[in-house]
Amino acid sequence: MMFPIRCFSCGRVIAHKWDEYQRRVSEGEHPRDVLDSLGFKRYCCRRMFISAVNVMDELIEFHQKYSEAPSA
């Protein structure tokens, strides 16, 4: 749903760099260079970033659009 706190394979904490990664990639930087400068050396941690899909953002958008009145 949201970006995982830790890498599935090695257990290293990765989530604290997610916002910076997303910002820099959206500004046009190559994910490879961003991951290098963030210090992710192992490919298990790197794939966590490049393959992440954040469904939570869509869920929040859905909530905003379709739940105008509080249900209770």
Whole-number minimum distance, CB 7 to another protein, in Å? Answer: 10
Annotate each residue in 13-52 with x if it binds another protein (CB under 8 A) or - if it does not, as one string.
x-xxxxxx--------------------------------
Q: Is 33 helix (H, G, I), strand (E, B) or coil?
A: helix
C-alpha dihedral sign at 62, 16, 38, 52: negative
**Residue 45 annotated as binding site:** yes
Structure tokens at 25: 């990639």
Q: Is the dihedral of CA 19, 23, 25, 26 positive or negative?
A: positive
Compute the residue count for the chain. Answer: 72
Residues that bind another protein (CB under 8 A): 1-3, 5-6, 10-13, 15-20, 56-57, 59-60, 63-64, 67, 70
- Please give the annotated binding residues, written as ranges: 7, 10, 44-45
- Please give the annotated binding residues for Zn(2+), written as ranges: 7, 10, 44-45
